[in-house]
Each structure stands twice: as C-alpha cells, then as structure tokens.
Amino acid sequence: MKSGAESRNSVRCNSRILSRWHRKGEQFESSIESIAWSDFEPSQTFHARRAFRSEEFHELERRVSRIEEKLNTLFGFFMKQQTYGLLEGPFLGDISGLGIRFGTRKIPPEPNELLEIEILLEGPSVILFKSELEVLRIEPSDDGAYFIAGRFIKMEPEVQEQIVRFAFQCQKEEIRASREEV
C-alpha cells in the first residue's frame, strides 16, 4: 500500500516535454544554468512572509497573485525562447514526482543506466529542472524517436513539489476541458 506522500507524487500528467540528457559523469556542451532565470522560484512571494490576515490584505494578496501569474506566463515564454536551442523536442510525454517518460532522437541509453537530465515542461505553467534518472525502459517510436522512461534518483524536494503541483494543474485542466466538451 502506498503512503500518502508516495501516492501524491505518483500523480501523472501528459505534457509537452523538451529535454536533453547524457550519461552520468559526462558534461553538457553548453550550460543551461547560465541563463539567469534558472533559480526563479515563484512560490517564494511576499505573501508567504506575512503573518497577519486582514480583509484588505486578502484583497491585496489576490491582486498580487494575479500579477504574479501574468509575470510567470511572460517569464515562461522567455524561458522557452532561451532554451529551445539547447533542448530536444518537444515530445509528448508524461511526468510525476517519481519519474518521467520523454522523447529523444539520440541513440538511447540502456535500461538501468544512470542519466543526468534537464527538462522543460510545457503546460499550465512552465518548469525547468535538472535531475538524475535511472532508466527503466526504452520504447521505440514509429517515427524513429525513442522514449526513455525512468525514475528520479536525485532531485531537490522543492523541484519535486513543483512537478507534483504541475501534474495536478494538468489534471485540473483536463477535467475542465472534458466538462466543457459535454
């Protein structure tokens, strides 16, 4: 039986995924970390630092949250423009807090190999992160691409939390879309 945290982390969503990878111990040719926004954490906003909650503060917090959402959208667009040249894809894949399935056109690794990956997720929000991944399986595609499915080995807890929120956002959007179809 899965624990509550494990169950929450295993929530999966389909997403457009841009990626790059190499075998553990190798180096990427160019650093994606040189792009200044890689450490941007929108969850650390001013309202997290306030202890009181007056009615006026709630209204201010709501307005700032709307502005923050708009800035995050613009920021996400900038992120994508800066990283498209470095990453493969986008491929339609899926992700959870525990693992990922993403596409590549490179010669794939072997199962059980350890990879270092950089991923850009496109969906209701945009997330860029790095992780270590254990390859579980390789799935060939009809168009000559391969899909790498694996589980995260080494990941910052904050990044894992962002991925879980991203997965829930994707599911929320899918439910909303299916209700609108009816």
Tell me what pLDDT residue 83 has.
66
Tell me what pLDDT residue 181 has.
79
Average pLDDT, the chain: 79
pLDDT at 49 over 60: no
Measured distance CA(125)–CA(120) in Å, rounded: 10
> What SS3 state is found at 10?
coil
Look up the CATH number of the domain holding residue 48. 2.40.10.220
More confident residue, 111 or 70: 111
DSSP-derived pairing of the beta strands 13-23 and 99-104: unpaired
**Number of independent structural domains in the chain:** 1
**128-180 confidence digits (pLDDT tens):** 888 999 999 999 999 999 999 999 998 888 888 889 888 888 888 888 888 88
> What is the arithmetic mean of pLDDT over 88-112?
92
Q: pTM (2 decimals)?
A: 0.66
Residue with tokens 């997720």: 121
Q: Does the residue 119 lie in any domain?
A: yes
Q: Quick one: what percent of the chain has pLDDT higher than 70?
A: 74
Q: Does the residue 33 lie in any domain?
A: no
- For 67-90, give the DSSP string: HHHHHHHHHHHHHHHHHTTTSEEE
**What is the sign, positive or negative, of the torsion defined by CA atoms of 132, 167, 122, 72?**
negative
Q: Does the residue 11 lie in any domain?
A: yes
Q: Does the residue 32 lie in any domain?
A: no
Give residue 167's domain range.
4-26+38-181
More confident residue, 33 or 148: 148
If we measure between CA atoms, which residue out of 116, 109, 127 comes closest to residue 153?
A: 116
Q: Does the residue 134 lie in any domain?
A: yes
Q: Does the residue 51 lie in any domain?
A: yes
Tell me what pLDDT residue 58 has.
77
Other beta carbons within 10 Å of 133: 25
In sequence order, the β-bridge partners of residue 91 are: 17
pLDDT at 37 over 50: no
Measured distance CA(132)–CA(156) in Å, rounded: 10
Tell me how many helices (H) and strands (E) the chain has: 3, 6
* Tokens of residue 62, six digits: 């709501």
